[in-house]
Structure 1
């Protein structure tokens, strides 16, 4: 065999290895776990900007939304899960499905834009949800609330977007202490989690939302800084989310970076390695 033939065979083997690796990675990401990077502060303090986690896609079974979307704007790649598994879209069912539980932290596809969101599941099919004076009511009963001091963070740019946090004690200068009121909320069924409040605003006073069959109602834990089901899709919000749009459950943070990039290892938060999500 000539050196040229040997080189050609080596290149072919390398290409085959890469293709097989990509196929294995695609199957793994479709069926088991999907990486997710927290880009915004809508789930503070449960999830911080820069948290990196894997979404458990086995938790609720599979639908068209289980297929991965690949978006790399810098090279013009925009492959949506519907481009791969669109034939499964439209019947609002799941294969090997199991019901999500109230209080789960869930990654789902926005019903209109297809963007991946992560929020807490508040309302199940048939529930009546309302927020009155900042207090969540489910089926006419107020959830349990207990004051838990303040959530404190530095007034500085956060994450790749470089956005500043909102503060209850505003105005706060650069480098100052940004505070939010902190409470422990208890949902029916016993799920306890931290919620934050910043100000008295319109989403603290809503009408009654009747969750349709086969749909769910989501809210962010950082209540005054979250675009969620309280705002209808026609107004740019999330609205009610169909069952088939659920991607999976967020169970554990793998690591977390307080810097502008996950590659800046000196900004990693050592207290969040393998931290369970409540």
Structure 2
């Protein structure tokens, strides 16, 4: 959730709008007069007719996706059990402010992210140092190439740490501002062993826990046997969250590449807040449509 659909929509809207607009300003009257003098029925040239027909549709879709809500599909299991592979979700694009499509620059501020929010954001890349000792974001997790381009991808995680928070993470144990995050064990994970995502959790004897993150109560999965995860603080994540940055983690705690690996998530990379599952597809031979998940509000 590697191409930028908003950028494509913006480009199409600009092209169709320019074609239609320039034609109406400079060519339309002469063409209409010429056809009328010849006694022919008026019709736009094919490119202009396409631009006139498609521009309003694309422009409206662009506005809705940029400023109201945008659909995304969950591609990985890093947010299980909250969000499953094949869930189609809606993201509130104005929860934290209005941003220009494609460029993602905030033009109007409408609120701030809260601890526990499930957010979609543009992947910022891995924190590395270049040859001159400058801190840069790279697409290379090893930092062997600190200037490797960062893939244009949308990721989804849960906000754990806010700017100014003091945070410590040891595996699934989280301490925020000196207070441990309270969680309660629910029991073993149960799922369909024929689904690769479920089988990963079953193979590693995953357990489900209810985590109380501020005012948000939500489920997480733990798989201690899968191996340790990077602690916080570490070389990429300081103990105090920097300004305009957020610590984010997946709900499948041992199976999520998140802030523990690549550092804090810059505010400028925010896309929006996930708020509802509108469709869920488990696969043709492993459950098909999961009607129970449709309409679920995301907490």
TM normalised by structure 1 equals 0.74
The reply on whether 1:227 has 2:257 as its aligned counterpart is: yes
The reply on whether 1:21 has 2:51 as its aligned counterpart is: no
Q: How many residues align?
A: 231
Change in 2 beyond 3 A, CA 1:168/1:259: closer
Change in 2 beyond 3 A, CA 1:251/1:133: closer
Q: Deviation digits for residues 195-229 of structure 1, max 9, x if unmatched? A: 10112433264436321011111000000110100
Change in 2 beyond 3 A, CA 1:39/1:157: same
Question: Considering only CA atoms, is the larger Rg found in Structure 1 or Structure 2?
Answer: 2
CA RMSD of aligned residues (A): 2.7
One of 52, 76, 89 as aligned partner of 1:53: 89
Q: Distance in 2 between matches of 1:119 and 1:165?
A: 21
The reply on whether 1:267 has 2:297 as its aligned counterpart is: no
Q: Distance in 1 between matches of 2:251 and 2:265?
A: 17
Q: Distance in 2 between matches of 1:51 and 1:7?
A: 49
One of 78, 99, 103 as aligned partner of 2:116: 103
CA contact 2:90–2:277 (8 Å) conserved in 1: yes
Q: Deviation digits for residues 37-62 of structure 1, max 9, x if unmatched? A: 00000000100001111110010002
Q: Deviation digits for residues 246-269 of structure 1, max 9, x if unmatched? A: 111011110100017xxx9x8111
Gapped runs of 5+ residues in structure 2?
1-34, 126-149
TM normalised by structure 2 equals 0.69
- Which 4+ stretches in 1 moved above 6 angstroms? none
Q: Deviation digits for residues 112-162 of structure 1, max 9, x if unmatched? A: 33310110011000112212353111112111110101222222345xxxx
Aligned pairs for 1:51-200 within 5 A: 51-64=87-100, 67=101, 81=102, 85=103, 88=105, 95-112=108-125, 113=150, 114-157=152-195, 165-167=199-201, 169-170=203-204, 179-187=205-213, 189-200=214-225
Compare relative contact order (CA 8 Å, sep 6+) and give the higher one, 1 or 2. 1
